[in-house]
């Protein structure tokens, strides 16, 4: 499954390197960082539902122009990096460095869509979204605006 991603990264698949030894371009690091944040919010309530997985996959294919298989491979790689990470700073630092404010706002909206994918907002998800807003350097009010656009219509 990771062979296609390794080929995409230009790594010889005959002798697979350690995952942390795969050279990544700036764009690939950004994709991994954004995906890791999406996965973090998807797992915040203690479960990763099929609807959350579908929302993450669709966001990756749409925003990064990836094929569905490439999106799933990115999710696997970002999932590994997420589990190895000590905190979220390495991911949010990459995003804040490379995304302008409008792109970070779009990411916040996508994060909210993942939160609402299972139909409910847990206190852990709410807390993590507020934390991510600070780490992503979003202006006050941006998080609520993104939430309003992403919230399911009632």
User: For 103-127, how does the pLDDT look when each residue is reduced to its tens digit (9 = 90+)?
Assistant: 999 999 999 999 998 888 889 999 9
CA distances in angstroms from 30 to 26, 37, 94, listed in the order given: 6, 11, 6
Percent over 70 (pLDDT), the chain: 84
Helix ranges (DSSP H) in 1-154: 2-9, 26-43, 50-63, 68-84, 89-98, 101-116, 123-135, 142-150
The full set of domains in the chain, from first to last, is 2-8+25-150 (1.10.3680.10)
Q: Specify the pLDDT at position 10.
A: 61
Largest CA distance in the chain: 53
pLDDT of 15 higher than 50: no
- Cα–Cα distance, 34 to 71 (Å, whole number): 12
Q: Specify the pLDDT at position 135.
A: 94
Q: CA 65, 68, 69: angle at the middle one, nearest 5? A: 115
Q: Specify the pLDDT at position 21.
A: 46
């Amino acid at each position: 499954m990771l062979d296609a991603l390794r080929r995409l990264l230009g790594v010889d698949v005959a002798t697979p390197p350690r995952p942390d030894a795969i050279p990544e371009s700036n764009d690939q690091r950004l994709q991994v960082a954004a995906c890791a944040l999406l996965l973090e919010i998807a797992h915040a309530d203690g479960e990763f539902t099929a609807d959350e997985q579908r929302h993450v996959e669709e966001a990756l294919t749409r925003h990064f122009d990836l094929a569905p298989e490439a999106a799933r491979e990115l999710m696997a790689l970002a999932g590994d990096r997420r589990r190895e990470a000590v905190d979220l700073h390495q991911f949010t630092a990459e995003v804040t460095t490379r995304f302008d404010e409008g792109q970070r706002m779009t990411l916040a909206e996508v994060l909210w869509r993942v939160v609402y994918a299972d139909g409910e907002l847990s206190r852990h998800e709410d807390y993590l979204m507020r934390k991510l807003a600070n780490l992503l350097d979003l202006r006050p009010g941006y998080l609520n605006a993104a939430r309003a656009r992403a919230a399911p219509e009632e």
